[in-house]
Amino acid sequence: MSIVALILAAGQGTRLKSKLPKVLHPLAGRALIHYAIDAAQAAAGARPVLVVGHGADDVRVAVGARAGFVEQAEQLGTGHAVLQGRVALGGHVADVLVTYGDMPLLRAETLRALVERRRASQAAIALLTIDSAGLFDFGRVIRASDDGVTAVVEVAQATPAQLALPERNVGAYCFDGAWLWEALERLPLSPKGEYYLTDAVALAVADGRRVEAVKTGDEAETIGINTRAQLAQAEVALRQRVNTAWMAAGVTLVDPATTYIAPTVTIGPDTVIAPNTHLQGATTIGAECEIGPNSVIVDTTIGDRCVVRQSLLESAWLAEDVDVGPFAHLRSGARLERGVHMGNFGEVKNATLGPGVKMGHFSYIGDAQIGSEANISAGTITCNYDGVKKNKTVLGERVFLGSNTLLVAPVTLGDDSQTGAGSVVTRDIPANMLALGVPARVVRERAPASAPHGEGKAQAQPDGAPTER
Ligand code: UD1
Ligand code: CA
């Protein structure tokens, strides 16, 4: 038997005081509605249908092909909203899951439990409830003396005795599709002028049908976003859930309260994440890494045993055994191969640093290909932009740049070539040659690396900066 899922997302979200439709507000970097879609999709095993109204066009664009859509032109209540799905889903006689688009922490397993309970009991409705002394705005669940659920009463209509009841309606339901669609036509108009989905409970009981309640013990699941304060509360709850799962999977979080891991991120075991670290988007981190503190890593892949200190990484790729920072900035297309060392105040964009490249201090490498074991000395800059277009810099293997070398692209330096400190390289340097000056001219063959104090004028100093004497 199949399941269909309907997500209500037509409301305005007035209390957010926002131009943005409620369900498009971001939670951990992703629009709220995507969380509801994930859960519904996983529980039903099929694409959910969204009821849209306020900001419908924007919601459609943000959701794309992840859901089907029906429109509720006028927001006449949650019961009326579900009825709008009748044409799309009305032929469906098995299980109809209904959730609200503003409840991002509701789990797929919980929705499955609703389906299973309804099937096992042949109830008209299985609804999710929680016992809570808080959650004042939530509908109250009324039970008969035999404990069977008889009604859900909204706060505005509840008597003082009903308000004092501990069981709340969370806002997730599984309906018997054979009963639901016709029953919705019979919902009464509430004193507020809306058709409440929750009135379907009393209707089912009047029809002689059972209504079952599944209780959750997890208050996070009940968080509905009506205000910015609740949005912040959901951030904390989601963070706790995600962080707890990563710790259980073998990742050390030194301070989970200041570790921000998006649900889309993956991390290998024995990696240690230091405080104030933000891992966002499609980021993947390998095993045995040390990440942070104070780092922001977005859409980046990091191999095993890497170290990232106090740095910003965006759309970058790091192989194994790479260390970066402090104060490094990797931008789109930065590719650091195995064993690269990138120290402080470096920026790499759309460039590959080959295996074992060292780039210790104050450098910008953009639109470049750097061969293995090359040494990028302090203050190296690829002058990649000529005012019209970006030009490429290519360095061969084991190239040794003097401090403050400017590489005016397009330019190519052959394997084992070298520049003197302060060189402005405007023309290619052949393999094995040393170039010096402004503009740099080739002067002679590079001294063998094993004889730094040889005959030549340019000498590699211990800090790696060859100096002309
Ligand atoms: C609802 C429940 C209440 C429950 C609470 C939990 C009803 C009548 N009440 O109240 O029992 O305790 O959730 O959070 O269902 N929506 C539409 N079209 C409409 C009206 C609402 O699509 O005409 C959507 C909203 O966008 C929202 C969801 O339905 O995503 C819930 O509506 P909301 O007004 O927030 O209901 P609550 O008052 O919170
Ligand atoms: Ca709500």
Distance 100 CA to ligand 1 centre (A): 7
Over range 127-150, report the average pLDDT: 95
Cα(78) to ligand 1 centroid in Å equals 6
Nearest-CA neighbor of 465 among 377, 386, 344, 384? 377
Mutate to test the pocket of ligand 1, among 12, 70, 82, 100 (most ligand atoms within 8 A of CB): 100
d(CA 277, CA 332): 19
- Work out the average pLDDT over 421-438: 98
Residues composing the chain: 469
Residues 6+ apart with CB under 8 A from 220: 105, 237, 238, 240, 241
Q: Whose CA is nearest to atom 11 of ligand 1?
A: 139
Out of 92, 329, 361, 453, the active site residue is 361
Ligand 1 atom closest to residue 154's alpha carbon, by position in its atom list = 11
The predicted structure's pLDDT at residue 457: 45
pLDDT category, 1, cuts 50, 70, 90? low
Contacts of 231 (CB under 8 A, 6+ apart): 16, 25, 27, 225
Q: Is 273 helix (H, G, I), strand (E, B) or coil?
A: strand
Whether 361 is catalytic: yes
Q: What's the CA-to-centroid distance between 413 and ligand 2, angstroms?
A: 63
Ligand 1, atom nearest to 137 Cα: 12
* Dmax (CA) of the chain: 103
Ligand nearest to the CA of 195: 1
pLDDT in tens, 65-101: 999 999 999 999 999 999 999 988 877 788 999 999 9
When pLDDT is cut at 50, 70 and 90, the band that residue 221 belongs to is very high
Q: In angstroms, what is the span from residue 281 Cα to ligand 2's centroid? A: 27
**Nearest CA residue ID for atom 22, ligand 1:** 10
377-418 pLDDT, tens digit each: 999 999 999 999 999 999 999 999 999 999 999 999 999 999
Interatomic CA distance for residues 339 and 322, integer angstroms: 5
pLDDT beyond 50 at 454 = no
Distance separating alpha carbons of residues 289 and 432, to the nearest angstrom: 37
| Nearest protein CA to atom 34 of ligand 1, as residue | 11
Which atom of ligand 1 is found nearest the CA of 138?
A: 12
Measured from the alpha carbon of residue 197, the closest ligand is 1
